[in-house]
């Protein structure tokens, strides 16, 4: 398995995963009624460092999975403004 990400991005992923794990320890300590705020602060620091490194990763290209939906939506919205009497005066008798 080849990973083309730079070392900074992989380190950022590591810090984010470690931060989530330590945050989970904080939640467990809270459930056990022995709250350890050291876990919380350490988790926030690790998540911050991880985010700082991870943000250097390039965004993936758009997959355009829903381009057909977007085009259909714009056609539908464009058709609304043309009028055509769509419902105006339906209830009028005589």
pLDDT for res 81: 64
pLDDT for res 14: 94
In a domain, 85, yes or no: no
In a domain, 51, yes or no: yes
The whole domain housing 11 covers: 1-58
**CA 93 to CA 71: how far, in whole Å?**
38
In a domain, 15, yes or no: yes
pLDDT for res 19: 96
In a domain, 93, yes or no: no
Percent of the chain with pLDDT over 90: 37
In a domain, 89, yes or no: no
In a domain, 11, yes or no: yes
CB of 19 closer than 8 Å to CB of 44: yes
In a domain, 45, yes or no: yes
Cα–Cα nearest to 46, from 28, 26, 20: 20
In a domain, 7, yes or no: yes
Instruction: Look at the chain and report how many structural domains it folds into.
Output: 1
**Position 92 pLDDT exceeds 60:** no
**CA 11 to CA 81: how far, in whole Å?**
52
Mean pLDDT value across residues 34-47: 93
pLDDT for res 68: 81
**Position 55 pLDDT exceeds 70:** yes
pLDDT for res 9: 85
**Position 20 pLDDT exceeds 90:** yes
Q: What is the DSSP letter of 52?
A: H
Cα–Cα nearest to 40, from 17, 18, 24: 24
């Amino acid at each position: 398995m080849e990973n083309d990400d730079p070392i900074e991005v992989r380190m950022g992923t590591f810090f984010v995963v470690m931060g989530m794990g330590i945050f989970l320890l904080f939640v467990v300590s809270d459930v056990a009624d022995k709250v350890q705020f050291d876990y919380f602060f350490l988790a926030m620091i690790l998540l911050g460092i991880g985010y700082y490194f991870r943000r250097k990763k390039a965004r993936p290209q758009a997959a355009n999975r829903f381009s057909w939906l977007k085009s259909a939506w714009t056609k539908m919205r464009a058709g609304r403004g043309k009028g055509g009497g769509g419902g105006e005066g339906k209830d009028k008798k005589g």
